[in-house]
């Protein structure tokens, strides 16, 4: 699986599913939508997305199997390990 193919990924307690040009974040226990990210770009190892409501950037780093987040004027930081990719 690489960054151009992925449509789903999960971490402990949450999952992210691609729906069109958005990544929908769901609570793992309830399945309820918690946030939405707009896909910005992809490369061989990553998907990059934004949550404009929180002014947040996200990188799904498949090479390192980690989700990375950043806020304005901050670098991307490792947030959580990826537990499943499809």
1: in domain: no
- Cα separation of 23 and 51, whole Å? 9
Residue 2 belongs to some domain of the structure: no
- Tell me, what's the pLDDT at 39? 98
Question: Rounded to an integer, what distance in angstroms lies between the CA atom of residue 78 and that of residue 68?
Answer: 4
38 within some domain: yes
Q: What global pTM score does this model have?
A: 0.92
- Structurally, the chain folds into a number of domains equal to 1
In a domain, 50, yes or no: yes
pLDDT in tens, 58-86: 999 999 999 999 999 999 999 999 999 99
What is the pLDDT confidence band of residue 31, given thresholds at 50, 70 and 90?
very high
Does residue 27 fall inside a structural domain? yes
Q: Assess if residue 3 is contained within a domain.
A: no
Residue range(s) defining the domain that contains residue 63: 8-85
Quote the CA–CA distance of 43 and 74 in Å, as a whole number: 22
Q: Is residue 53 part of a domain?
A: yes
Q: Are strands 14-19 and 8-11 parallel, antiparallel or unpaired?
A: antiparallel
């Amino acid at each position: 699986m690489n960054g151009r193919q992925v449509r789903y990924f999960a971490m402990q307690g949450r999952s992210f599913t691609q729906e069109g040009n958005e990544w929908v974040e769901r609570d793992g226990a309830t399945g309820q939508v918690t946030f939405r990210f707009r896909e910005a770009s992809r490369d061989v190892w990553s998907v990059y997305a934004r949550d404009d409501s929180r002014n947040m950037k996200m990188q799904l780093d498949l090479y390192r199997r980690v989700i990375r987040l950043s806020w304005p004027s901050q670098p991307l930081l490792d947030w959580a390990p990826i537990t499943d990719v499809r």
